[in-house]
Chains A and B, each alone.
Chain A
Amino acid sequence: MRILLCLFLAFATGRALASGFALNEIAPGIYVHRGVQEDSSPQNLGDIANIGFIIGDKCVAVIDTGGSIVIGRKLRQAVVNATRLPICYVINTHVHPDHIFGNAAFKDDHPVFVGHDKLPAAMAARGGNYLNALKRDLGAATQGSEIIIPTLTVKDVLELDLGGRRLTLKAWRTAHTDNDLTVFDEKTQTLWLSDLLFTEHIPVVDGSLKGWLSVLKEFPGIKAHHIIPGHGQPDPPWPQGLQAESDYLNVLLSEVREAIKHRQTLQQAVDTVGLSQRNRWLLFDSFHRRNVTAAYAELEWED
C-alpha cells in the first residue's frame, strides 16, 4: 500500500510538473509553449522562448527546444503526452541558445535535426561561448545541454511531409541573425516566424538591422491565419502585429544614422539613442543598448 501510495504521489507530482509546462493548441495539431518574458536565469532554466511542435498523420516536428536540456525534456514529455507518433524532425529556427539548448533531450528519438544553411557555421562559431555562458548563468541543472548541429539544412525553401501535413521551411537572408528559418503549415495556414517577430519583448538585433527591415516588408504579403512569434503573445493581428517591431527598428535606424552623422562615438550613441522607446517594450534595459551597438557597427559602414 505504501509503495502504491509512493508511486501514486510520484505520478501525481510528475503530472503536476508536466502540466506546469503550459501548452496551447493554437490550431489543430499545432502546439505552442510560451516562454516567460525574462532573461535566462537559474530559476527559469532558459524557458524564455516560444517553442512547440506540429503533429502530422505519420510523425511530429518539434520547432525549437528551449534554453536548456531541462526545458527540452519538458517539451518532449509534452509531445509524448499528446501523441504516440514518433518525432521525426527537430527544427531550429536560429542559433540562439534559448531556442537550441533543449536539442539533446530529443537525441534518443533519432530525429533529423533541421536548420538554415548557415546554422552549422553559426553554431560552430558560437557554441563554445554559449555552453560556457549556460554553465555560468544557469548552473549545474542544465548539465547535458549540447550544441547539436543540423544534418538537414535549408538554403532557400524545403518541404517536409509529416503525413497528410506539409511544412514549408524558408531560409531568410540576414535579419534577426544570419540563420533565420520560418515554418509554414499549409493545413492551418500557420506561420511560425520565431524571432523574426517579437511582440511585447523588445526585438534583438544580432544579424542586420537593414536586412531585418527589408525582410519585414515581405511578411504582409504572406496570407496566414495564425502567427507564432519567438517571444511574446502568439496570434497577434496580422499583418498589423508587425508594426510595433518595425517602428522600433526604424527608430534605431534613423537615430543611429543621425548619431554617426554627428560624429558621436559608439559609447555616446549607446547612451542616447532610442530612449523614447523604453516604455513600449519588456526587457528594454537588457537588450536595447546591445541593439544600438549592433546597429552602429553595421551603419558606420554605409556610404
Chain B
Amino acid sequence: MKSFILSTRLALALGAMLFTTHAFPADPDPDPAKSEIWIKVKNSLFEERAIETSGNDIITLDTPVRAEDAATVPIAIKAQIPQNPEKYVQTIYLVIDKNPSPIAAVFHLTPDSGRADIDTRVRIEEYSYVRAIAEMNDGQLYMAMRYVKASGGCSAPAGKDQEAALARLGKMKFRLENEVALNRPNLAQLMISHPNNSGLQMDQLTRHYIPPRFVKKIDVSYSGKLILSADVDFSISENPNFRFYFTPRESGDLKAEVIDSSELKFNSYIRVEPGVTASGS
C-alpha cells in the first residue's frame, strides 16, 4: 500500500514535470515597454518626458546576457560623446526593473568628468531588464537597455563570506589605470570595502530582520571640482567598485567621500601627477 501511494505521488510528480516542460518554451525577452515597474519608475523620474531608446548615439550599455554570478554582474555604461561644456551627460540613471529597489544608482557628472563612462557591478535578483538612461544638460533623455538572465540556483545575490565582509568595512582603494596625462580624460577606479547588504535577511536566532547596511552616497572630486556624485543602494554589489573618467588640468588630489546608510563617512584620496601611475587608499 505504501508503494502504491508512493507511485501515485511519483505519477503526479511526473505529470507535473511534463506540464512544466511544456510551460517553459524558449522564452523570448519580454516587451521592455510593458514592464509595470518600469512604467512606475519612468513616471516618477521623468513624468511625461520623451525618452529616445532605439539606436541612440549618446549612450550604450554592456552586460553579460547571463549573470554568471548574480551577486556580481559587471555593467558598463559608455557615452558616445565627450563631456563638452556645451553638451554633456549630466545624469545617468541605472534601473534594474525586477530588483527590490529598482533604481540602483543615479550618477551625476560634469564637464570635468571628461567622459560619462561608468563601470560597476550590480546584484540582479531575477531575470530583468537593466536600463541606463542618460539625461543631457539640455534635458534630453536617452536610454540603452539589456535583458539579463540570472544563471541558476547556486547563484544568489548574497555575499560569499559574510564575516570577512564586515571585518573589512570602510577600507577604500583608488587606482589610476594608466600614466596620467593632463587635459584629457583619464580612467580611475574606486574600490570601497563594504558588505552593502539589503537588510532583507532575517537573523534566525533573534527572528529580527538584519538592518540594511549599504553605501548610499559617493562624491568624487579633483582639485576641489566635482567629477562624479552618485546616489546608490544595495543593488550595487558587495564591495562597491566604480571605474570612471576625470580630466585633470594640473597636478592635484583625486578625493572620494563615501557615506553609508548608518551615516558613517569614509574618505580616501590619491595624489595625481602627470606621467605617473598610482594607486593608494
Contact = CB atoms under 8 A, between A and B. Distances in A.
Interface of A: 7, 10-11, 13-15, 17-18, 39-40, 42-43, 45-46, 67, 70, 73, 77, 96-98, 118, 120-126, 128-130, 132-134, 136-141, 143, 149, 174, 177-178, 204, 206-208, 211, 263, 265-267, 270, 286, 289-290, 293-294, 297-298, 300-301
B161 interface: yes
A300 B240 CA distance: 12
A267 B75 CA distance: 9
Given A97-B154, A123-B204, A126-B158, A14 B68 contact: no
Contact of B159 (A43, A125, A266, A300): A125
Contacts of A140: 16, 19-20
Nearest to A270: B68
Q: Closest 7 CB pairs between A and B? A: A139-B20, A14-B3, A125-B158, A129-B156, A126-B156, A10-B4, A120-B204
Given A42-B17, A139-B23, A290 B69 contact: yes
A114 to B, nearest CB: 15
B153 A45 contact: no
Chain B's interface size range is 35 or more
A17 B7 CA distance: 8
Contacts of B24: 42, 139
B160 A290 contact: no
Interface stretch (B85-93, B129-137, B162-170, B254-262): B162-170
B21 A42 contact: yes
Contacts of A134: 153
Contacts of A130: 153, 156
Contacts of A43: 17, 21
B31 to A, nearest CB: 19
B239 A14 contact: no
A191 B72 CA distance: 33
Given A206-B160, A290-B151, A294-B160, 20 more contacts: A7-B1, A10-B8, A13-B10, A17-B7, A77-B6, A98-B154, A125-B201, A130-B153, A133-B150, A139-B24, A140-B19, A141-B13, A141-B17, A141-B20, A174-B161, A178-B162, A265-B243, A267-B76, A270-B74, A293-B69
Contact of A207 (B69, B156, B161): B161
Contact of A67 (B150, B153, B160, B237): B153
B202 to A, nearest CB: 5
Given A140-B20, A207-B161, A124 B203 contact: yes
Interface in B1-51: 1, 3-4, 6-10, 13-14, 16-17, 19-21, 23-24
A207 B160 contact: yes
Nearest to A125: B158
Given A17-B10, A265-B74, A178 B163 contact: yes
B231 to A, nearest CB: 23
Contacts of A98: 153-154
B177 interface: yes
B211 interface: no
B204 A14 contact: no
B205 interface: yes
A290 B68 contact: yes
A122 B159 CA distance: 9
Nearest to B73: A293
A14 B154 contact: no
Contacts of A126: 156, 158
Nearest to A149: B204
Contact of A125 (B9, B156, B175): B156
Contact of B13 (A10, A70, A124, A174): A70
A122 B14 CA distance: 31
Contacts of B233: none
Given A178-B161, A204-B154, A266-B121, A301 B239 contact: yes
B252 interface: no
B7 A14 contact: yes
Contact of B125 (A129, A149, A294): A129
Nearest to B237: A297
